[in-house]
Amino acid sequence: MKKLPLSMLIVIALLTMTGLSFAQMNLGLNGVGGKLGYISPEGNIDNSVVLGGWVNLGTITPQLHLRADVEFWGKSYSDYSAKVSFTQLALGAVVLYYFPMENANFKPYSGVGLDFTRSKTSVEGLGFYSGSASSSSTDIGIDLVAGIEYPLSPNLNGRGEFKYHTDGADFWGIFVGVMYSLGK
C-alpha cells in the first residue's frame, strides 16, 4: 500500500518539473539564415564548399536552443578513363547549449544533432571504358558543433561554427553565416 502514495508523489513531482520546463519553452519559427562552409570529407573526396541554411526553432530552456539545418555540397572528378560526381543533401535538427557569459556581446555554444542525408554518386566511363553507373543512399547522421554567435544589428546575428558530421561521407567543416531574427 505504501508503494501507491510514493508512486503518486513521484508522478506529481515529474509533472510539476515538466510543467516548469514547458513554461520556459518558446518553440516556433524565430529566425532564418544562410551559411557558407568549407569541408574536408573523409576518403578520396577532396575539400568542398557547402551552401546551407539555418532556421531558429526557438528555446527549450534559456540555455538550450533548437535549430534546423539544411546543407548541400558536391564534388566532381574527371580523368582519361572516367568522370565521377558525388552530391550530398542533409536536413537535420541540432540542440545547442549557449554558455552563460556575463556582459559579453558574443555567445559561445556547442551542440549535437541528428540529420537525414541523401547522397548520390555517379560514374561515367570515358574512352575505352564506356558506360555509366550511379547509386544513391539515405543515411542518418550525427552532427557535433561548436561556435560563436555575435550581434551585427538588432535583428541580425553573425555566426562562426566548427562542425563534425558523421554518415555516408563523414566530414569536418568550418561555417560562417547570418541569422535574421523574426522578432519573437
Q: What span, in angstroms and rounded, lies between the C-alpha atoms of 160 and 149?
A: 7
Q: What span, in angstroms and rounded, lies between the C-alpha atoms of 167 and 27?
A: 28
CATH number at residue 34: 2.40.160.20
Q: Does residue 122 form part of some domain? A: yes
pLDDT for residue 65 is more than 90: yes
Cell readout for 112 is 549535437
Return the SS3 of 44. Answer: coil
pLDDT band at 176 (very low <50, low <70, confident <90, very high): very high
Q: Does residue 127 form part of some domain? A: yes
Residues contacting residue 173 through CB under 8 Å, at least 6 positions apart = 37, 38, 39, 40, 50, 162, 163, 165
pLDDT for residue 4 is more than 90: no
Q: Does residue 9 form part of some domain? A: no
Domain coverage including residue 116: 27-181
Q: Please say whether the beta carbons of 114 and 71 come within 8 A.
A: no
Q: Please say whether the beta carbons of 50 and 39 come within 8 A.
A: yes
Q: What span, in angstroms and rounded, lies between the C-alpha atoms of 83 and 122?
A: 8
Q: Does residue 103 form part of some domain? A: yes
| 158: nearest Cα among 181, 145, 176 | 176
Q: Does residue 58 form part of some domain? A: yes
Cell readout for 133 is 553507373
Give pTM, 2 decimals. 0.78
99-114 tens-digit pLDDT? 998 888 899 999 999 9
Q: Does residue 1 form part of some domain? A: no
127-170 tens-digit pLDDT? 676 777 888 888 899 999 999 999 999 999 999 999 999 886 78
Q: What span, in angstroms and rounded, lies between the C-alpha atoms of 78 and 46?
A: 13
Q: What span, in angstroms and rounded, lies between the C-alpha atoms of 119 and 73?
A: 10
Q: What span, in angstroms and rounded, lies between the C-alpha atoms of 96 and 107?
A: 11
Q: Does residue 10 form part of some domain? A: no
Q: Does residue 101 form part of some domain? A: yes
- % of the chain at pLDDT higher than 70: 85
Number of domains in the chain: 1
Residues contacting residue 79 through CB under 8 Å, at least 6 positions apart = none
